[in-house]
Structure 1
Amino acid sequence: MRAEAEAHARTVEQAVGLLRRFLDWDRAQRRLEELNARAEDPALWNDPRAAQAVMRERRKLEEALTATRTLEDELRNTVELIELAEAEGDSELEAEGVEALARLAARAEQEKVEALLSGEADANNAFIEINAGAGGTESQDWAEMLFRMYQRWAERRGFRTELIDSHPGEQAGIKSATLLVKGEGAYGWAKTESGVHRLVRISPFDANARRHTSFASVWVYPEIDDSIEIEINEKDLRIDTYRSSGAGGQHVNTTDSAVRITHLPTGIVVASQSERSQHKNRATAFKMLRARLYEAELQRREAEANAQNAAKTDIGWGHQIRSYVLQPYQLVKDLRTGVTSTSPHEVLDGALDPFIAAALAQRVTGERVEVEDVD
């Protein structure tokens, strides 16, 4: 086959391999047989809620297995068509086969991403929390650049955003901010962005035009509804109120309407100042705290399930995931997957999907990519 066809075929093969691994193919087939048997049992509907859960799982699993088999069958048939066309010297039929293979490769990539977004909370809205690192104005300006990047990314994907909390820097930028991204699959798409992001550039705040390195942390967690029970003891909380502040430190409220809640056992801190009412801000902060605790539970389950997977380490301040270099050259490099872009300004304008898709895939493959550090 011509090189173009071979490249498309490899794309489909890799997607199918990842889907099989994600599904745990043999286990998935056995599970589907169990669900089919339960679905045929009339007694199942004695508990309508449990029956609906079984039918949902069955449908979801059946669709995933069928989609993967269909990709495999279409790949085999299309490759055979191209090989037959080559053998008979039919260039027109061969070209049609290559086009069909290109469409199949695009579909396989889409199927792969959709499968990777099928986690327990992946369909939910997402909170994106950004905190400037040490370094004063430099890091605070970088934190604001990241905040804008996620706003632009959300717009590109058709998500809506809502500012929940923001603390401006003394001279420029922000010390911290929390953005709520609303839309189907927002958390599934954004969850791999948690970690430390590093910026290297000639500082606009340095009169000597020296190169600076700045850090900011990003934490992503899902918004959850009231159907998910998270136990919170009041004695484990410290609740503080303060005045909401806007850009430049201007007070947007003359009362202590903003609310900050600290969960003492875990050290988790959440805050809300988006509402003028302290009562509403308190309700929002509690919702954020429940979401953070739920996300921590999801992380714990994932860590247990992948205890031997080196790629599934806990994300913390010391875990750098991506570097953005603006000077002396231009490069964005993801230090987990090796994905790069030579257009950092486009990335900072929200072009994050290639980085996110690769990071989602890595959660399944567990493969770490060794890359040189970006200075």
Structure 2
Amino acid sequence: MKKLIQITSGRGPAECNFVVTNVFRKFSEACKKEAIDIEVIEREIDADFNQITNILLEIEGEHLNTFLSAWIGTILWIGKSPYRKFHQRKNWFIGCFEVEIPKQNNMLANEIVYQSMRSSGNGGQNVNKVNSAVRATHKPTGISVVSMDSRSQHQNKKIATTRLLLKLQEAENEKLKDLANEKWNNQTSIERGNPVKTFRGEKFL
């Protein structure tokens, strides 16, 4: 079983991005404990404090519905602002949502062309020596994405495929309830009450 999960600060302040970053860490730890595979599909970082504002994850494992029942919804962190020393607010809310997985069929798979390419940017001496990055292109539309997130070409192909399918789904459903709209709705619909999970303090216990 696979699921797409979005963890987002919505339109909250910088403190909420701090919470997203730490909740992602706790979520990853929980997945590892339950032998659930986790892959980062998209990640948005704020420019001021280098914290995660929005992250899209693909998880795969057994009994995901039971596992996610403790995570899907509003998540509350109770703690002092790490950025504004004298700020009085102590309750910070973010959202964790399930996003619809784009469907892939055999015909669509035959319409995708993969191209290996050299990774670029930071990553040490080895990253530029192997063609580990992958570009996935949908031939009929020309829509193209690149993944160089992993040193493994196999993993990059998997990530690129998911990203491309998401883009295709967004394009196909642009006038309806497409994925981009769904994700935006998630970012604007965080409820400030009845949290499904609460963390406290700097260690997020």
Q: Which TM class, normalised by the smaller chain length?
A: 0.5 to 0.7
Shift in alpha-carbon separation, 1:325–1:154, aligned structure 2, 3 A: closer
Unpaired segments of 5 or more residues in structure 2? 108-119, 129-133, 137-144, 178-185
Q: Which has the higher helix share?
A: 1
State TM-score, norm by structure 2.
0.55
Per-residue CA deviations over 1:163-190 (Å, capped at 9, x if unaligned) read: 1111112214211111221212335532
Q: Distance in 2 between matches of 1:178 and 1:245?
A: 22
Q: Identity across aligned pairs (percent)?
A: 16
The RMSD of aligned alpha carbons is 4.5
Q: Residue type of the partner of 1:159?
A: I
The alignment status of 1:127 with 2:1, answered yes or no, reads no
Maintained 8 Å contact 1:165/1:273:
no
* Counterpart amino acid of residue 134 in structure 1: R
1:273–1:226 distance in 2 versus 1, CA, 3 Å? closer
Change (3 A) 1:285 1:227: same
For the pair 1:200 / 2:78, whether they are aligned, the reply is: yes
Any stretches of 5+ residues in structure 1 without a counterpart? 1-123, 230-243, 247-251, 260-271, 297-314, 328-342, 346-375
Matched residue of 1:189: which SS?
Answer: helix
| CA spacing shift, 1:182–1:281, aligned 2, 3 Å | closer
Write the mapping of 1:63-82 to structure 2, written as runs, cut at 5 A.
Answer: none
Kindly report which structure 2 residues correspond to 1:1-375, keeping only aligned pairs within 5 A, or say none.
124-170=1-47, 171-187=49-65, 189-190=67-68, 193-208=71-86, 210-221=88-99, 223=101, 226=104, 274-275=147-148, 283-288=161-166, 317-319=189-191, 320-322=193-195, 324=198, 326=200, 345=205
Instruction: Say whether the 8 Å CA contact 2:2–2:60 is kept in structure 1.
Output: yes
Aligned residue for 1:193, secondary structure, equals coil
> Higher strand fraction: Structure 1 or Structure 2?
2
Q: Deviations over 1:272-316 (max 9, x none)?
A: 8644799976631243478999xx9xxxxxxxxxxxxxxxxxx87
Name the CA distance, whole Å, in 2 between partners of 1:188 and 1:228: 30
The structure showing larger relative contact order (alpha-carbon pairs under 8 Å, at least 6 residues apart) is 2
Aligned residues, how many? 156
TM-score scaled to structure 1, two decimals? Answer: 0.33
Structure ID, larger Rg: 1
Q: C-alpha deviations, 1:66-104, integer Å up to 9, x for none?
A: xxxxxxxxxxxxxxxxxxxxxxxxxxxxxxxxxxxxxxx
